[in-house]
């Protein structure tokens, strides 16, 4: 059964979910926006018999500490450094990365820093290609990149209203799914509660603005894939409004050992297809004798 704990990293308590025998192959589960390690609750249970799984919450997310913007600079560089230090303190020094949404820029920063530690990558709508950005869905954030943080109050208020509202959050989980009514409402209710904390909108807008630096790093991350050639399992919700299927297809350019799967679901594919994805993970590891 999963268990839970905290690891203090540079004065911030990082919450994590953990399951399985540490002597088994390790999978580090890196969550996306706007959620937390909660998104991996089912996958952890499904894989714990044969794998060691660990899923941290980033600072300001989930049950981890939420330092103020004066105490912690909310950038993907800093979050990746925090997660990297967390793994080192936990003694997790050889692992595969499961990346989704924000998990991609966090995980690829760690992978390029420590390529010798990464055994494989599992990407569930974890994008590293420009064609994987739906310009329509990203248009307001791209406008934010152009105008700068704090330069257009109306734009930032519109983003906050559309993205951080309870209805906007519900849409992110249900859009593109086969059965929207079956998606667990706890997901967006928990997210809305956390995003309603004082200062959270500013923190999340900081990260939206900083996302431009992830796009700038795409060539570096693609070079990592070509040069290091980690095995990659793609389990991609093809109906994702933010990271559409071309982002999945693009991995074919750079990765030789690729297990490619498009799933008929949305951005949070694990909400509908956790059992299917867990089976893909087992088969992927077994075929490559990753231990």
From the candidates 31, 38, 201, 267, which is the catalytic residue? Answer: 267
DSSP states of 43-69 as a string? Answer: HHHHHTTT-EEEEEPPTTSTTS----T
At residue 159, the 3 state secondary structure works out as helix
| Cα–Cα distance, 80 to 102 (Å, whole number) | 10
Q: Which two tokens mark 221?
A: 């991350």
Contact at 8 Å (CB) between 267 and 238?
no
Nearest-5° Cα angle at 242, 236 to 244: 45
Residue indicated by tokens 């906007």:
168
Number of H helices, E strands in the chain: 11, 8
58 touches 82 (CB < 8 A)? yes
How is 53-112 classified by DSSP, letter by letter? Answer: EEEEPPTTSTTS----TTTS---HHHHHHHHHHHHHHHT--SEEEEE-TTHHHHHHHHHH
The conformation of residue 244, written as its DSSP 8-state character, comes to -
β partners of residue 6: 15
8 Å CB contact between 265 and 237: yes
Q: Are 30 and 106 contacting, i.e. CB atoms less than 8 angstroms apart?
A: yes
Q: CB of 268 within 8 A of CB of 261?
A: no
Annotation marks residue 192 as catalytic: no
Q: Encoding tokens for residue 278?
A: 């867990």
CB atoms within 10 A of CB 202: 15
**Catalytic residue IDs:** 267
């Amino acid at each position: 059964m999963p268990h839970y704990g905290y690891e203090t990293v540079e004065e911030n308590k990082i919450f994590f979910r953990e399951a399985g025998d540490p002597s088994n192959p390790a999978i580090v589960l890196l969550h996306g926006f706007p959620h937390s390690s909660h998104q991996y609750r089912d996958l952890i249970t499904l894989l714990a018999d044969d794998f060691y799984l660990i899923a941290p919450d980033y600072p300001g997310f989930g049950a981890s500490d939420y330092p103020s913007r004066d105490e912690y600079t909310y950038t993907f560089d800093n979050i990746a450094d925090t997660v990297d230090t967390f793994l080192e303190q936990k003694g997790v020094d050889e692992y595969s990365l499961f990346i989704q949404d924000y998990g991609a820029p966090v995980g690829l920063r760690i992978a390029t820093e420590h390529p010798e530690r990464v055994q494989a990558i599992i990407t569930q709508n974890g994008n590293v290609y420009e064609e994987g950005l739906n310009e329509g869905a990203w248009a307001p954030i791209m406008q934010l990149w152009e105008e700068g943080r704090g330069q257009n109050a109306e734009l930032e208020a519109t983003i906050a209203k559309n993205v951080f509202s309870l209805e906007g959050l519900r849409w992110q989980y249900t859009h593109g799914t086969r059965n929207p009514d079956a998606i667990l409402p706890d997901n967006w209710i928990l997210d809305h509660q956390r995003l309603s904390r004082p200062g959270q909108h500013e923190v999340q807008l900081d990260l939206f603005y900083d996302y431009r630096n992830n796009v700038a790093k795409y060539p570096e991350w693609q070079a990592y894939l070509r040069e290091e050639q980690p095995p990659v399992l793609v389990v991609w919700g093809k109906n994702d409004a933010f990271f559409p299927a071309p982002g999945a297809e693009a991995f074919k350019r750079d990765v030789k050992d690729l297990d490619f799967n498009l799933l008929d679901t949305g951005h949070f594919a694990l909400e509908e297809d956790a059992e299917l994805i867990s089976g893909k993970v087992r088969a992927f590891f077994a075929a490559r004798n990753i231990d």
